[in-house]
């Protein structure tokens, strides 16, 4: 590469950072400094965590009886005390809880409906016991659409769920598939916030590389592209859809993927669709990941995420520290950590 091309490349990268209105304070923050930053948690900051998991003991026991894990990760031990410890250590006021992969549908519709109801009622009771500290995304029963609609109506109206969690794919069927449209219609009517969490790809993993390491990111990307390509964001405009882990590969590869999901085949049309998503920062707050996310996403569409307890306290706090060491303005920092989420969950204001 000659000097002129090198300077052009550097200018392009600088422009992307300027567009996002940010500049990393240190592109190579050490793990020690980042961990300490997370522990300090910026005095007075009250984060809203849109990517925090719950593993009710009866649910963990059920999965263990089937020999299941979460994309190569063991099912962690969860407790309300452990959650509050993580939150207090990292300046988190409220955690919006969700069940991770593999969800509750293991092949039997009736069993899935029972388990979803049990999980959602457990979450609702926890929210009542700890006012202001927890919310929850209701667990549904896809690919059982009728059961998913029934549980969505119950959780959103009776249990006062803050939204729903949907896996990116269920045994190879991805969000955006036409047969699941009746559920999206119901969720749109309720103006629901939908948290999209990755699952295992419908393919064998590469030997030695667990699904959570890379496949999860592609899984989320596939779901986002399918939802966008099928026009779901326009047909269901009152859905607010949060993509886990900064949207997988969406921000980084958006320009490449845009024409695939554009109604008119244009790059601009595809980018407009993809920018309608929300993105959380769970495990995605390194200076290089944040730079890509902030250069692509709408500033008001980024929320904080911890991924606890699948990311243990040390790991979660490390990424929180990276977020804290990033060169946000005061307004940007408050938006990512709190005010953007308040628009999705106004009851927490």
Whether 27 maps to a domain, the answer reads no
Whether 319 maps to a domain, the answer reads no
Whether 219 maps to a domain, the answer reads yes
Nearest Cα neighbor of 335 from 295, 289, 302, 298 is: 302
- Look up the domain containing 49 and give its range: 45-309+329-343
Q: What CATH number has the domain bearing residue 281?
A: 3.20.20.140
Whether 317 maps to a domain, the answer reads no
% of the chain with per-residue pLDDT over 70: 87
Q: What distances in angstroms separate CA 99 from CA 16, 155, 250, 284, one per listed residue?
A: 35, 14, 23, 20
Whether 255 maps to a domain, the answer reads yes
Q: What is the pLDDT of residues 262-293, one digit of tens each?
A: 999 999 999 999 999 999 999 999 999 999 99
Query: Given a cut of 60, is residue 24 above it in pLDDT?
Result: no
Residue 195 has phi, psi (to 5 degrees) of -100, 115
Burial of residue 312 (number of CB atoms within 10 Å: 0-12, 13-18, 19+): middle
Cα 151 to Cα 110: distance, rounded to the nearest angstrom: 12
| Total of domains in the chain | 1
Whether 314 maps to a domain, the answer reads no
Whether 178 maps to a domain, the answer reads yes
Cα 13 to Cα 10: distance, rounded to the nearest angstrom: 5
* Edge-to-edge order in the sheet of strand 134-139: 47-53, 92-98, 134-139, 163-167, 193-197, 240-243, 278-280, 302-303
Q: What is the pLDDT of residues 155-195, one digit of tens each?
A: 999 999 999 999 999 999 999 999 999 999 999 999 999 99
């Amino acid at each position: 590469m000659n000097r002129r091309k090198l300077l052009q490349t550097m200018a392009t990268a600088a422009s992307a950072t300027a567009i996002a209105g940010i500049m990393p304070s240190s592109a190579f923050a050490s793990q020690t400094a980042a961990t300490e930053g997370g522990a300090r948690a910026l005095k007075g900051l009250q984060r809203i965590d849109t990517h925090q998991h719950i593993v009710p003991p009866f649910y963990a026991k059920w999965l263990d009886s089937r020999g299941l894990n979460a994309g190569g990760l063991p099912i962690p031990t969860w407790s309300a005390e452990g959650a509050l410890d993580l939150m207090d250590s990292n300046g988190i006021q409220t955690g919006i809880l969700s069940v991770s992969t593999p969800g509750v549908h293991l092949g039997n519709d009736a069993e899935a409906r029972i388990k979803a109801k049990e999980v959602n009622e457990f979450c609702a009771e926890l929210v009542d016991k700890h006012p202001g500290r927890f919310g929850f995304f209701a667990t549904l029963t896809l690919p059982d659409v009728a059961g998913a609609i029934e549980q969505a109506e119950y959780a959103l109206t009776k249990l006062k769920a803050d939204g729903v969690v949907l896996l990116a794919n269920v045994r190879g069927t991805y969000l955006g598939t036409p047969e699941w449209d009746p559920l999206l219609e119901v969720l749109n009517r309720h103006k629901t916030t939908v948290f999209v969490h990755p699952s295992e790809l419908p393919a064998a993993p590469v030997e030695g590389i667990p699904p959570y390491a890379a496949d999860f990111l592609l899984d989320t990307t596939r779901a986002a592209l399918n939802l966008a390509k099928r026009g779901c964001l326009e047909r269901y405009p009152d859905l607010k859809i949060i993509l886990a882990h900064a949207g997988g590969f969406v921000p980084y590869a958006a320009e490449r993927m845009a024409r695939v999901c554009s109604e008119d085949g244009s790059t601009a049309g595809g980018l407009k669709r993809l920018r309608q998503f929300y993105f959380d920062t769970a495990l995605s707050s390194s200076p290089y990941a944040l730079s890509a996310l902030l250069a692509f996403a709408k500033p008001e569409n980024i929320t904080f995420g911890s991924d606890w307890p699948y990311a243990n306290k040390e790991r979660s706090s490390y990424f929180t520290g990276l977020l804290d060491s990033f060169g946000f303005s005061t307004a940007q920092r408050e938006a990512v950590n709190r005010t953007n989420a308040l628009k999705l969950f106004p009851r927490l204001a």
